[in-house]
Structure 1
Amino acid sequence: MYETILYEVSEGVAIVTLNRPDKFNAFTEVMHKEIIAALKQAQKDDAVRCILLTGAGRAFNAGQDLSEVSGGDVDFGGFLRERYNPMILQMHKTEKPIVAAVNGVAAGAGMSVALACDIRLASEKASFVNAFVGIGLVPDSGGCYFLPRIVGIGKALELAMTGEKVSAQEALGIGLVNQVYPAESFMEDALAYARKLAALPTRAIGLIKRAMYKGLEMGLEETLAYEAYAQEAAGSTADHKEGVAAFMEKRAPRFTGR
């Protein structure tokens, strides 16, 4: 189905692999469209309860393929509005957990896309580079939104202004990633993590995702009101009833994502 990505579903996890390893999985117009299509496909598929985003070969993603923007004036604003912004917004509104399995370097927009995922797992060989400043540009693809919210404004400004590479262990220390795994077992470990999420109550996780992100932009009173709305929705799910029954019967719950 796809030209620049791979898509497969395994044990409740949709594995989306950026598949231009010879170009370090750099973004092209086709890849943007295919990622959006894959996210929509995963969202509609009841068999998918978690999305794992990773890269083929040695890199996660090296940012924009510069061969598409060289040799003339570029409408950078239009470029972002047409290509990157719809992709980031689709990630944000997909109500299933999206896990970035950062297997190698994540640079420029590749780092921003990792930040836009809900959870980030890193190989010990992974690294993050906010590369925009090195070519006189500003972090985009949500980089100015997610980075300060994840690591704090001071560290975010340092990373954006200096463009210095961050190792996997440093990324773990500043809260940029959630877990670091050995390189030799990285995909096995990342898949195991994603499968744990896939076994949880999917609709509740979607509501958690929506409420948490909305809470970043709202005051306390608005957040409390939205929590009440989300709890009403969660309380009507089959998984809530199963969770209560399992607790009362002192057994492990068997969530179905409904």
Structure 2
Amino acid sequence: MSVEDLQTNLEQSVLTLTLHRPDQLNAFSGEMIEELTKSVKEAETNEDVRVIVITGAGRSFSAGGDVKTMGESEPQDIYAHIGRLNDCISAIKNSPKPVIAAVHGFAAGAGFNLALACDLIVAAEDSKFALSFSKVGLISDGGGSYFLPRLIGPHLAKQFFFSGQSIPAKRLYELGVVNELYPANELQDKTMAMAVDLANGPSVAYGMMKKLVDHAMTASLDEILEQERITQTMMVTTEDHKEGVAAFKEKRAPQFKGK
């Protein structure tokens, strides 16, 4: 893989993973996807990493699949390629670390779905999203058929899938898909500030919250109540909990260590 396909940077416990094929609007290559998956999985056990940010170099977050190469692959190659993409999406969802997508320019096709797999999406005010699969006679891959209906309901999701038209970030912010909107020239700094704030928080609790909220989308109330009961019993033994209680009693800011 070219070292340019994915760039990594670790600063203040925030691992920034930058999709780096700017001349192709960061369209996915097999190598890029594999390296992104590897980086996310390695971060799971790296105590120096407490938050992950995924962003794109150049003019856009990601154009998703590389349209220029479509029509040149055999069905078995597509099956293998989407398998690699599925591994990446699963790695992001299963990571115990909070994952933020920072979107500017365009997030199209599987690029949009990659952002949906993250825990939070922040976007530039002038950015646009598109589920452009129908424009080339394809269905959504990368988990879009799973994520989007759960966020906005099936009817509106179908409209976006059928039309393939671009959706302004403001619309998705109003629908609750995008968490925060920032001026384009402030996106990087605002994202980093959010990530650092999370990195200074109770990482173990965040990981458990992520699991419970994601599972709640398909679980019954009784199942979640019991999982909360079991998990909370574990949480009270963590150093972060003890530090939080001590800081509250001493009227100071807690110094969480993610343990």
With normalisation by structure 1, the TM-score equals 0.95
Tell me the equivalent position of 2:235. Answer: 234
Please say if residues 82 and 142 of structure 2, whose CA atoms lie closer than 8 Å, have aligned partners that are also in contact.
no
Please say if residues 134 and 164 of structure 2, whose CA atoms lie closer than 8 Å, have aligned partners that are also in contact.
yes
Tell me the equivalent position of 2:94. Answer: 93
- When residues 27 and 77 of structure 1 are mapped into structure 2, their CA distance, relative to the original with a 3 A threshold, is closer
Deviation at 1:131, TM superposition (A): 0.5
Tell me the equivalent position of 2:46. Answer: 45
- When residues 235 and 77 of structure 1 are mapped into structure 2, their CA distance, relative to the original with a 3 A threshold, is farther
Question: What is the number of equivalent residue pairs in this alignment?
Answer: 258
Structure 1 residues 23-50: Cα deviation after superposition (integer angstroms, max 9, x where no partner) = 0000011011100111022222111110
Spell out structure 1 runs of 4+ moving beyond 2 A: 66-77, 79-82
- The correspondence of residues 173-192 of structure 1 with structure 2, limited to 5 A, is 173-192=174-193
Tell me the equivalent position of 1:26. Answer: 27
Q: Distance in 2 between matches of 1:43 and 1:236?
A: 21
- When residues 71 and 77 of structure 1 are mapped into structure 2, their CA distance, relative to the original with a 3 A threshold, is closer
Please say if residues 14 and 53 of structure 2, whose CA atoms lie closer than 8 Å, have aligned partners that are also in contact.
yes
Deviation at 1:213, TM superposition (A): 0.8
Structure 2: tracts of 5 or more residues without a match: none
Q: Distance in 2 between matches of 1:67 and 1:143?
A: 22
- The correspondence of residues 52-201 of structure 1 with structure 2, limited to 5 A, is 52-75=53-76, 78-79=79-80, 81-201=82-202
Deviation at 1:3, TM superposition (A): 4.2
> Which letter maps to 2:79?
G
> Which letter maps to 2:18?
T
Matched, 1:244 2:212: no
Structure 1 residues 113-159: Cα deviation after superposition (integer angstroms, max 9, x where no partner) = 00000000001121100101111111111101110111222221111
Deviation at 1:81, TM superposition (A): 4.7
Q: Distance in 2 between matches of 1:72 and 1:246?
A: 58
Structure 1 residues 173-215: Cα deviation after superposition (integer angstroms, max 9, x where no partner) = 1111000001111100111111111111001000000111111
Structure 1 residues 45-88: Cα deviation after superposition (integer angstroms, max 9, x where no partner) = 11111000000011101011234443254347623552111111
- The correspondence of residues 5-20 of structure 1 with structure 2, limited to 5 A, is 5-20=6-21
Q: Distance in 2 between matches of 1:81 and 1:165?
A: 23
Please say if residues 30 and 81 of structure 2, whose CA atoms lie closer than 8 Å, have aligned partners that are also in contact.
no
Matched, 1:4 2:15: no
Report the 3-state secondary structure (helix = DSSP H, G, I; strand = E; otherwise coil) of the residue aligned with 1:61.
coil
Structure 1: tracts of 5 or more residues without a match: none
Which shifted more, 36-45 or 91-100? 36-45
Q: Distance in 2 between matches of 1:12 and 1:248?
A: 27
With normalisation by structure 2, the TM-score equals 0.95
Q: Distance in 2 between matches of 1:33 and 1:72?
A: 18
> How large is the Cα RMSD of the aligned pairs?
1.5
Please say if residues 2 and 34 of structure 1, whose CA atoms lie closer than 8 Å, have aligned partners that are also in contact.
no
Deviation at 1:248, TM superposition (A): 1.2
